[in-house]
Structure 1
Amino acid sequence: MPDKAKLSSSEIGVLWMTFQQKTMILRMLEYFIEHADDEQSKKIMVDCYEQVSPYEQKIKDLFTQEGAAVPVGFTEDDVHPGAPKLYDNGFDIMFLRLIKEISMGMHTLNLNMTYRQDVMQMYKELTAITQVTYEKCTTYLIQKGLLTRSPYTQIPKSVEFVQDVSYLSGFNPFKEKRPLNTVEAAHLYHTAESNVAGMTMILGFSQVANTKDTKRYFEEGVGISKQIIKTVSNILLESNIHVPQTAGGNVTSSASSPFSDKIMMYCVSLFCSFAIGGSSLGTAFSQRNDLVKDITKTMQDIFAYAHKGAKIMINHGWMEEPPQTMKTDQKN
């Protein structure tokens, strides 16, 4: 019996996805670290970079040991550290916080699809790194006044049970909608907060994109983010809940791109996948049927936008194909 079983198909798949994501994060951090003008934020990014960087080679080694082709991912050709500063006012940590939020979900899912001890251990280590970095980013942004906490509410003094099925309704224009419960408010607030940061990111991408189709695509993404923020904010305000506001994350006037269009397109694709997953959870935990309708419409818009982006990436030869399962010849 061999000391280690061969990598399973699911392990190859999750390692491939992790390699794409980690090489993207590392390349973009290289740029943000060079342009950091705050020592505290720079240390957060450097610590993250130094902890995550070894896993790029570890995944390469796993593929090599299996005799498999090593993924390309993102290289030094996808970042231009000497380009002028594109974002200001804490956006680097806002971006890293959102990336780490995505990573936490991905690592948990990936761990659930692994079987070999060394691969499981890798995802346990990555999860620990991600959680610590996320906490550092959140603490930093709150201390700097760049991130607002979700709204406070009355502390429940007793347990109550739903007494009527009208609790689930929200479409009837002749009946007043019940206020949001805290679970629904949490998911809606998170959606708005994520889109505020995402909109700033895509706005910067649209300003420096090198090809016309990617520029138009990013401009469309800004519009979609604005619409999502508007829709969610209106729902929150109906229940007298304040909407996410931030004093951070500005786009400068730079017209020189620090990143390749390829890596920017992948980054937006990753954010779209995260948004669809988050919206699915929001739908699952929403008990007012009008909320489910609004969230579902948002998911459809994001899915259509992501599909359009995939076509652009394919047309430019930027979409790296995941390893395929065994193909068989089909004869009619």
Structure 2
Amino acid sequence: MANVSVEAMTSAEMGKLWATYLFNNYSGYVLTVFEHHAADEQIKQLLQRARQLGESNQQAVKQMMQEHQFPIPEGFSQQDIDLSAPPLYTDPFYLYYYTKMASAGLEFYVSTMPLMTQPSIRKLFNGFMTDTIALLNELVDLKMSKGLYVKPPYIPIPERVTYAKSANYLSGFLKEKRSLHALGITSIFNDIQFSYVMHAYLLGFSQVAKNEEIRRYVTRCSSLLSELTMELRTLLEDESIGAGLPTEANVTASTRAPFSDKLMLFMSNQVMSVLIRLLGRSFSETSRHDLSVLYMKQLAKVSTLAQDGMKLLLDQGWFEEPPQSPNRQQLIRQH
């Protein structure tokens, strides 16, 4: 029987709490492995704080779900990691990887806040945002102190305010291309950094996945990320804009899996999902026809891969369904 003293959750509150629980659930096991293998004490301590924060967030969401008698997602367990496996990545990789995933988490929390109706749930997500911002500041400071921070490109400060005078501003094919603006450079740079780090992440999966189909899938994902990195770097190099790479984010020679195939397939799909959001945002900020076409082509490729990954999850019986509305036609047929 429903608890009548608790305000009913909206679909947005259900969906976002469900997604938040799963995000903190799977990332907690990833961080457990990374923390276990980190040799650098400062990196290990930061990963420990990140893991503890995720566990606290997951527990807070679980409590909120229980108050509303909402089924707790199953997610992943200790059985999905193997701490006895050798390290699959180098220490710097852990910082680069978690910076990207914490940034994705922060964007998720920011987009969630305006959709939350209940004050208690808004307070919950407000806390998640505050804690994630503090953690990201720590990550940046630590990377800076270790010489691992890759800065975005520099361009000269404009001498004055100017206005575009014709539709040539949008051109990028037959006519002379205008130079990239700061927002476009930032998007391209951010996409390069994400693609490079996640290429290494999934390359590691391709070395250790046991299931042949899953190994082929993560290899395709890794190859696409490598292709995207090179294509976007060429865009900047063609305009004499330097873009450094997090080259310390390396994969070891290990062929023993620290993660289960189920967890690696799920994480690969998460990477594709975040990449779709990044490319979509970059597409909206290009204002140049050639870049719009490039992003549309890459979005189509990533979307196809994401669908293939979803089919694999379904085939394996590993896809845990989000909360759904009733199927009215099915209910009518059953009557």
Quick check: 2:208–2:256 contact (8 Å CA) kept in 1? yes
Q: In the alignment, what sits opposite 1:52?
A: 54
Equivalences for residues 74-93 of structure 1 within 5 A: 74-93=76-95
Matched AA of 1:213 = E
Equivalences for residues 175-254 of structure 1 within 5 A: 175-254=175-254
Matched AA of 1:180 = L
Quick check: 1:147–1:245 contact (8 Å CA) kept in 2? no
Equivalences for residues 13-28 of structure 1 within 5 A: 13-28=15-30
Shift of 1:176: 2.6
Quick check: 2:6–2:67 contact (8 Å CA) kept in 1? no
Q: 1:73 to 1:125 in 2, by over 3 A?
A: same
- TM-score scaled to structure 2, two decimals? 0.94
Quick check: 2:39–2:91 contact (8 Å CA) kept in 1? no
Equivalences for residues 133-152 of structure 1 within 5 A: 133-152=135-154
CA distance in structure 1 between the aligned counterparts of 2:230 and 2:111, rounded to whole angstroms: 31
Query: Over residues 31-83 of structure 1, what are the superposed CA-to-partner deviations in whole Å (9 max), with x where a residue is unaligned?
Result: 11111111111121111222221222222222222223211112111111221
Quick check: 1:81–1:258 contact (8 Å CA) kept in 2? yes
Matched AA of 2:77 = T
CA distance in structure 1 between the aligned counterparts of 2:176 and 2:11, rounded to whole angstroms: 52
Shift of 1:2: 6.0
Quick check: 2:203–2:222 contact (8 Å CA) kept in 1? yes
CA distance in structure 2 between the aligned counterparts of 1:292 and 1:237, rounded to whole angstroms: 18
Q: Secondary structure at the match of 2:173?
A: coil
Matched AA of 1:169 = S
Shift of 1:190: 0.7
Q: Secondary structure at the match of 2:332?
A: coil
Q: In the alignment, what sits opposite 2:155?
A: 153
Q: Secondary structure at the match of 1:250?
A: coil
CA distance in structure 2 between the aligned counterparts of 1:9 and 1:152, rounded to whole angstroms: 44
Q: In the alignment, what sits opposite 2:104?
A: 102
CA distance in structure 2 between the aligned counterparts of 1:138 and 1:318, rounded to whole angstroms: 35
Q: In the alignment, what sits opposite 2:261?
A: 261
Q: 1:244 to 1:301 in 2, by over 3 A?
A: farther
Q: In the alignment, what sits opposite 1:66?
A: 68
CA distance in structure 1 between the aligned counterparts of 2:299 and 2:140, rounded to whole angstroms: 26
Quick check: 1:48–1:129 contact (8 Å CA) kept in 2? no
The number of equivalent residue pairs is: 330
CA distance in structure 2 between the aligned counterparts of 1:199 and 1:226, rounded to whole angstroms: 6
Identify which range, 127-136 or 297-306, moves more after superposition. 127-136
Q: 1:321 to 1:2 in 2, by over 3 A?
A: closer
Quick check: 1:147–1:247 contact (8 Å CA) kept in 2? no
Shift of 1:22: 0.5
Q: In the alignment, what sits opposite 1:316?
A: 316
Identify which range, 93-102 or 109-118, moves more after superposition. 109-118
> Is there any run of 5+ residues in structure 1 with no aligned partner, and where?
none
CA distance in structure 1 between the aligned counterparts of 2:49 and 2:200, rounded to whole angstroms: 24
Matched AA of 1:104 = L
Matched AA of 1:58 = A
> Is there any run of 5+ residues in structure 2 with no aligned partner, and where?
none
Q: What is the Cα-based RMSD across aligned positions, in Å? A: 1.6
Once superposed, which parts of structure 1, at least 4 consecutive aligned residues long, lie more than 3 Å away? 1-4
Quick check: 1:236–1:243 contact (8 Å CA) kept in 2? yes
Matched AA of 1:18 = T
Q: Does residue 294 in structure 1 map to residue 289 in structure 2? A: no
Query: Over residues 91-116 of structure 1, what are the superposed CA-to-partner deviations in whole Å (9 max), with x where a residue is unaligned?
Result: 11111111101101111122222111
Quick check: 2:196–2:229 contact (8 Å CA) kept in 1? yes
Identify which range, 178-187 or 42-51, moves more after superposition. 42-51
CA distance in structure 1 between the aligned counterparts of 2:226 and 2:211, rounded to whole angstroms: 23
Q: Secondary structure at the match of 1:90?
A: helix
Matched AA of 2:49 = D
Query: Over residues 141-195 of structure 1, what are the superposed CA-to-partner deviations in whole Å (9 max), with x where a residue is unaligned?
Result: 23322232111111112111111211111111xx331211111111011111110
